[in-house]
Amino acid sequence: MLRFASSELTDAELALQAEVRDFLAAELPRGSFAPGLGMSAARDQGFSRALAARGWLGMALPRRYGGAERSVVERFIVVEELLRWGAPVRYHWIADRQTGPLLLRYGSEAQRERFLPAICRGEVSFSIGMSEPEAGSDLAAVQTRARRVNGGWRVSGTKLWTGGAHENDWCVALCRTSEEDDRHRGLTQLIVELRAPGVSVRPIAYLDGSEFFNEVLLQEVFVPDDLVVGEVGAGWEQNTSELSFERAGPERWLSTYLVVEQFLRERGAADERARVALGEAIAGWWGIRALSLSVARLLDAGHAPAAEAALVKELGTRFEQEALDAIWRLVPDDLDPAAESLFERLLAAAILGAPSFTIRGGTNEILRSVAARALRIQRADRVRPDSGEPLPSERRA
């Protein structure tokens, strides 16, 4: 059984939505900045700090760590508005979405005190150090090794596709700390300083020439014991527990929203084919948004809806691509990525970025396996869905 339930925003949630819209219109008026596509938008620490000043970074974290103790749904509302606006979210994105909740759940008290208030103030940035040359979907194949030394660990290996490593401060790296028969054991999450001696970051140009991905070479990098997250050897469980939080958010179905909106602004909907494409896009968003909101409600209720989140990401990222294709088919012109028209620029960027939507954060093939396996476990009634064992290849990014 998948637990999707329809829900409406409450009056208080709608008031927050209005507050975010007013803030964006005042702080970041249209035309004053180059809007970006979803979580791939620009990096602007000043803007992240302005959000922090409103209590909109780390907003679901406890007050004692600088958070606002708001709900997952409230964060959903803020994120949805930021992404619909094309706001520059990249500086704080990973720290706010992922590292904060990870450290709250598994970090030591000292790590929480050190990092969470800084995340909530927009003063520290993180990357995700999971993928490696031979470990993408099959994350348990990671070969980066951490060797025990006096006072900590020496880390050696190569991380790949590490978004933002060339500009971020820290990276949570999944490392092998012991050899075990079961390769899901013996993995540990370490917080690696990206400017530490022994770390080399090599940018990898993306299709459009921009540099965001990196190869991160780690050569005998020292990580002190106090930067081990959670338990040594429990990295696999910790890693997979993040999945529900990172898979079903608005960033999984809003990446091409602005292309459609800007099409409407610049070219209108006089054409019948355009009306059909727009109607389908609106209907698609409405449905996926309802599913995504439903997952946020489940998280607020204390569930870990991994299968539901996997399905939302699978549906959402395919929808983002389909909405883009429908608009692209309406445009006969050759596209110029440097065109004066914002619509053309966004369309060109989205065409180059779209193949990655169904890869980043776990490929759609893997997500279907996650959902199918959770359903199979439920049918057999062997394990409660929330505690279903992860697939060997279960993956995120």
177 is a site residue for ligand FAD (CB under 6 A): no
Within 352-381, the residues that bind ligand FAD by CB under 6 A are 356, 359-360, 362-363, 365-366, 369
**Of the residues 16, 130, 216, 281, which one makes contact with ligand FAD according to CB under 6 A:** 130
345 is a site residue for ligand FAD (CB under 6 A): no
Tokens of 90: 């990249």
Cα 193 to Cα 149, 171, 173, 222, 356, distances in angstroms: 17, 6, 10, 9, 27
Q: What's the chain's Rg over C-alpha atoms?
A: 21
Tokens of 36: 């970006």
Residues with Cβ within 8 Å of 199's Cβ and at least 6 positions away in sequence, in order, are: 192, 193, 216, 217, 218, 219, 221
Rank residues 137 and 292 by Cβ distance to ligand FAD and give the closer one. 137
**Of the residues 58, 67, 86, 136, which one makes contact with ligand FAD according to CB under 6 A:** 136
Least distance to ligand FAD, CB of residue 235, Å: 13
In 3D space, the residue among 230, 202, 229 whose CA is nearest the CA of residue 218 turns out to be: 202
The one segment of 74-82, 252-260, 322-330, 389-397 that binds ligand FAD by CB under 6 A: 389-397
Least distance to ligand FAD, CB of residue 87, Å: 19
Least distance to ligand FAD, CB of residue 207, Å: 10
170 is a site residue for ligand FAD (CB under 6 A): no
The one segment of 77-85, 122-130, 215-223, 225-233 that binds ligand FAD by CB under 6 A: 122-130
Tokens of 46: 């000043």
Rank residues 216 and 327 by Cβ distance to ligand FAD and give the closer one. 216
Distance CA 102, CA 242 (A): 7
99 is a site residue for ligand FAD (CB under 6 A): no
Least distance to ligand FAD, CB of residue 129, Å: 6
Residues with Cβ within 8 Å of 158's Cβ and at least 6 positions away in sequence, in order, are: 132, 133, 144, 215, 216, 217, 218
Distance CA 162, CA 385 (A): 31
**Of the residues 99, 111, 137, 240, which one makes contact with ligand FAD according to CB under 6 A:** 137
Distance CA 269, CA 271 (A): 5
Distance CA 181, CA 287 (A): 44
393 is a site residue for ligand FAD (CB under 6 A): yes
Within 255-284, the residues that bind ligand FAD by CB under 6 A are none
128 is a site residue for ligand FAD (CB under 6 A): yes
In 3D space, the residue among 308, 287, 284 whose CA is nearest the CA of residue 296 turns out to be: 308
Q: Rule CB under 6 A: which residues touch ligand FAD?
A: 127-131, 136-137, 161-163, 356, 359-360, 362-363, 365-366, 369, 393, 395, 397
